[in-house]
């Protein structure tokens, strides 16, 4: 009997379940023949890219026959000026997800362990298992990180520790004091990955200025993205801030030209477009208030979120309700794979999209 190709894969990959992205609108159109569909599943910016970004992309078309700047000089320079770090402390990624994978490739083997929280971003276990490392998942407290439990989970084999702040899919966040005390207790042999994909949405006075900690903790790395608040999810561009030494290590395993020319040009302009960012945050705040008020009126518990999404507890198994919502043209995100089988995660949309979703949910809850 011919040998299965799967048997030739590494042990971690053989049992790996691929990441399941939010359902595309086109898929639902084909499957159900619907013409009115809203997608609130993938924490995307409902405004779309800014006009300034569109102009920058248009201006980049003439150079598409050329390879992009493999070092991303212009974007790194802009990020350096924005955050007050040296350019050699920055690593550019094909989305911040790629930075997480680079960290796994650079620092993990089958002999190492990775610590992260229950209900944390699904990519953490994926990159851990792919390289054969061992995951140590710490039970959450009120859907958020148990920092004391995470410290207790660290062993001599621990190499990476992932923290999402705010956390996806729950939206919980950690304060500056809590994280500062935590970092001071993390051993030097453990690299602490602070995933701040949603930090632009946080307006809490006690939210940390994590960049200020980089000089004190060479084992700290911060990851951020242009996919959420900056509206560039389709272009896939993210970055990390760290010590120059850590950035050098990541750039040894980073593939050349991992950011395309359009992404580099768009991100550079988006970073400076403060008016667009303010509009994004204002829209998100209004939508978050509308949805949370609606859930309260409906008697549905929800998790207070600092991101551009909110998780609602339907107080029953959520998959059947999600299916019913799909038939009404509403794409949201079930999170049973995060050990939250009764919850749906809803991205904040436009005012009209949020209303469309709530009306559909009310109808579905009566019928299902």
Task: Choose the final residue of a domain: 252, 272, 292.
Answer: 272
Do the domain assignments include residue 4?
Answer: no
- Domain at 343, CATH number: 3.90.1150.10
Do the domain assignments include residue 2?
Answer: no
Can you give the three-state secondary structure of the chain, one letter per residue? CCCCHHHHCCHHHHCCCCCCCCCCHHHHHHHHCCCCCEECCCCCCCCCCCHHHHHHHHHHHHHCCCCCCCCCHHHHHHHHHHHCCCHHHEEEECCHHHHHHHHHHHHCCCCCEEEEECCCCCHHHHHHHHCCCEEEEECCECCECCHHHHHHHCCCCEEEEEEECCCCCCCCCCCHHHHHHHHHHCCCCCEEEEECCCHHHCCCCCCCCHHHHCCCCCCEEEEEECCCCCCCHHHCCEEEECCHHHHHHHHHHCCCCCCCHHHHHHHHHHHHCHHHHHHHHHHHHHHHHHHHHHHHHHCCCECCCCCCEEEEECCCCCHHHHHHHHHCCEECEEEHHHCEEEEEEEECCCHHHHHHHHHHHHHHHHHC
Name the pTM for this structure. Answer: 0.94
**Segments forming the whole domain that contains residue 318:** 20-48+275-367
Do 28 and 121 lie in a common domain?
no
- Domain at 148, CATH number: 3.40.640.10
Q: How do residues 55-105 score in pLDDT, each as one tens digit?
A: 999 999 998 999 999 999 999 999 999 999 999 999 999 999 999 999 999
Per-residue pLDDT of the chain (368 residues; tens, 9 = 90+): 566 878 778 877 877 777 777 778 888 888 888 888 999 999 999 999 999 999 999 999 998 999 999 999 999 999 999 999 999 999 999 999 999 999 999 999 999 999 999 999 999 999 999 999 999 999 999 999 999 999 999 999 999 999 999 999 999 999 999 999 999 999 999 999 999 999 999 999 999 999 999 999 999 999 999 999 999 999 999 999 999 999 999 999 999 999 999 999 999 999 999 999 999 999 999 999 999 999 999 999 999 999 999 999 999 999 999 999 999 999 999 999 999 999 999 999 999 999 999 999 999 998 76
Do the domain assignments include residue 109?
Answer: yes
Domain count, the chain: 2
């Amino acid at each position: 009997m011919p040998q299965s190709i799967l048997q030739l894969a590494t042990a971690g990959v053989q049992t790996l379940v691929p990441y399941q992205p939010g359902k595309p609108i086109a898929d639902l159109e084909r499957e159900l023949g619907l013409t009115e569909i809203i997608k609130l599943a993938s924490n995307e910016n409902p405004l779309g890219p800014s006009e300034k970004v569109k102009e920058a992309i248009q201006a980049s078309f003439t150079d598409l026959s050329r390879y992009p700047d493999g070092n991303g000089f212009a974007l790194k320079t802009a990020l350096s000026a924005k955050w007050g770090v040296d350019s050699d402390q920055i690593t550019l990624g094909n989305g911040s997800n790629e930075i997480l994978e680079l960290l796994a490739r650079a620092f993990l083997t089958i002999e190492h362990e990775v610590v992260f929280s229950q209900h944390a971003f699904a990519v953490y276990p994926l990159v851990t298992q792919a390289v054969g490392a061992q995951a140590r998942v710490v039970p959450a407290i009120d859907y958020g990180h148990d920092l004391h439990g995470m410290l207790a989970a660290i062993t001599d084999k621990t190499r990476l520790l992932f923290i999402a702040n705010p956390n996806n899919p729950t939206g919980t966040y950690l304060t500056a004091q809590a994280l500062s005390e935590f970092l001071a207790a993390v051993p030097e042999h453990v690299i602490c990955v602070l995933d701040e994909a949603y930090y632009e949405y946080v307006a809490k006075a006690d939210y940390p200025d994590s960049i200020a900690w980089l000089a004190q903790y060479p084992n700290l790395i911060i990851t951020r993205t242009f996919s959420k608040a900056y509206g560039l999810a389709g272009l896939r561009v993210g970055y990390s801030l760290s010590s120059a030494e850590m950035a050098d290590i990541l750039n040894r395993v980073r593939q050349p030209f991992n950011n395309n020319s359009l992404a580099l040009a768009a991100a550079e302009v988006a970073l400076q477009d403060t008016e667009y960012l303010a509009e994004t945050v204002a829209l998100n705040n209004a939508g978050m208030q509308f949805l949370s008020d609606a859930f309260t009126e409906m008697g549905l518990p929800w998790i207070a979120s600092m991101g551009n999404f909110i998780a609602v507890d339907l107080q029953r198994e959520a998959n059947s309700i999600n299916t019913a919502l799909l038939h009404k043209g509403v794409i949201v995100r079930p999170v049973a794979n995060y050990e939250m089988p009764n919850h749906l995660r809803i991205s904040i949309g436009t005012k009209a999209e949020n209303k469309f979703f709530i009306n559909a949910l009310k109808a579905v809850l009566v019928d299902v």
